[in-house]
Structure 1
């Protein structure tokens, strides 16, 4: 795999590697994000971040907010399969912003990127609410990923205030325990505001992608819509997209 670009910043080494038309972002040798202009599925956990869009029929969104952009792969995936009018991304790491712009063709999506700390940006934000918020914020401790912002009542309230009346909130959790420790499980008021929850997992990953909905939906609706897209239906039937989706129930 050829190295297209590399840079050391604040003690970390970043590389963009190429395999054919595939572009991969590595941080200190750890595979972080992947993009291919003709292939939607990457085989990584970020394939699950855009799936909850299909809880809405049709998957149409006026405004999408991504907190923690990485290379911007999710923007490409949403643009391909959902009807999205506007996309905004907030990313703290300037190297990730550079890679998204220079190697992951983020300009093709028309996404507006902000290099900022996500919590502060959202506290300062005064614009229209978002129909879909995807939160993928992680830092590192002792070489292991940890949530950059604790998923407590305060953080959920801030996200919820910026979500439209029928909006969808998607959050990445590093483990089942991390999800179960989140405020949604322990605050009845929060479950009243976001009454439906679902979890998505992939066999090879420990992460749990959680989706919280204001309006009723179902996993069957989501699967029916995915199977209505020929290329995704084919990948599912071949076992290349072997995700699991389950309803979240407080107390379990």
Structure 2
């Protein structure tokens, strides 16, 4: 694996490494993103952030908000398979933004960057609602990724306030224990906001990615949608997409 880029900023080492056509972003000891222009799926957690969008018909998801961009792997999938009119990416780390543009080809016309603290930006946002919000806010502590904000009732309230009537909220948790300690399980009003809830997993990591939808759906809808795309159809030989899904509500 070759190192394409390496820079230390404020004591933190950033690296972009290549393996064939694949590029990977490492910040400190944390693996932040992976992108290969020859493959639609990454085979890891970033696929799970995208997958819930397949519960929606083409054209339903017009505006997407991504809180925490990193290298932006999920943005490539969103543009390739659902083509939203607008994607807003909020990222606090200026180095990540520079790397994403230079090495991960994030130059879409529908992508609007916001260099800001995503939590502060979200709590003061007063614009149009979003059809899809992805909460992928992490920082590094002792070489391990940690969620940047607890998924308590206040944070759920902020996020759901800015969803459309049939909107989708996707949240990335370190593990299932962290998800089960979230306000979804502890505050009735949070659970009542959503008609369908799913948890996604992949064998390549321990993360629990949760999709909370404001409309009724079934897993068969997801599987039918994926079969429409050769690159995403798990039944096809060579498909890199590896996931498990379980309906919670």
TM-score > 0.5, shorter chain as reference: yes
Q: Does the 8 Å contact 1:235/1:241 carry over to 2? A: no
2:39 corresponds to: 39
Cα deviations by residue, 1:119-143 (Å, 9 ceiling, x for unpaired)? 1101221110000000101122332
- Is the alpha carbon distance of 1:236 and 1:95 closer, same or farther for their aligned partners in structure 2, counting shifts above 3 Å? farther
- Is the alpha carbon distance of 1:234 and 1:143 closer, same or farther for their aligned partners in structure 2, counting shifts above 3 Å? closer
CA distance in 1, matches of 2:11, 2:83: 40
2:226 corresponds to: 226
Give the match's secondary structure for 1:84: coil
Give the match's secondary structure for 2:108: helix
- Is the alpha carbon distance of 1:23 and 1:239 closer, same or farther for their aligned partners in structure 2, counting shifts above 3 Å? closer
Q: Does the 8 Å contact 1:79/1:109 carry over to 2? A: no
> CA-atom RMSD, angstroms?
1.6
Q: Which of the pair is proportionally richer in helix?
A: 1
CA distance in 2, matches of 1:33, 1:238: 21
Q: Does the 8 Å contact 2:15/2:27 carry over to 1? A: yes
CA distance in 2, matches of 1:122, 1:112: 15
Q: Does the 8 Å contact 2:42/2:240 carry over to 1? A: no
Aligned residue pairs, count: 249
Cα deviations by residue, 1:108-161 (Å, 9 ceiling, x for unpaired)? 363111111111101221110000000101122332221100000000000000
2:150 corresponds to: 150
Deviation of the 1:21 alpha carbon: 2.8
CA distance in 2, matches of 1:126, 1:164: 14
1:195 corresponds to: 195
Give the match's secondary structure for 1:197: strand
- Is the alpha carbon distance of 1:190 and 1:108 closer, same or farther for their aligned partners in structure 2, counting shifts above 3 Å? same
Q: Does the 8 Å contact 1:200/1:246 carry over to 2? A: yes
Give the match's secondary structure for 2:192: helix
CA distance in 1, matches of 2:230, 2:238: 12
Q: Is 2:117 aligned against 1:117?
A: yes
Q: Does the 8 Å contact 2:179/2:208 carry over to 1? A: yes
Give the match's secondary structure for 2:128: coil
- Is the alpha carbon distance of 1:229 and 1:70 closer, same or farther for their aligned partners in structure 2, counting shifts above 3 Å? same
Q: Does the 8 Å contact 1:15/1:26 carry over to 2? A: yes
Deviation of the 1:31 alpha carbon: 2.7
Q: Does the 8 Å contact 1:173/1:207 carry over to 2? A: yes
- Is the alpha carbon distance of 1:40 and 1:187 closer, same or farther for their aligned partners in structure 2, counting shifts above 3 Å? same
Relative contact order, CA 8 A, sep 6+: which one is greater? 2
Cα deviations by residue, 1:34-57 (Å, 9 ceiling, x for unpaired)? 112231111221111000001112
Q: Which runs of 5+ in 2 are unaligned?
A: none
1:62 corresponds to: 62
Pairing 1:1-252 to 2, within 5 Å after superposition: 1-58=1-58, 60-108=60-108, 110-233=110-233, 237-238=237-238, 240-249=240-249
- Is the alpha carbon distance of 1:125 and 1:117 closer, same or farther for their aligned partners in structure 2, counting shifts above 3 Å? same
CA distance in 1, matches of 2:100, 2:41: 17
Cα deviations by residue, 1:163-185 (Å, 9 ceiling, x for unpaired)? 11110000000011000001011
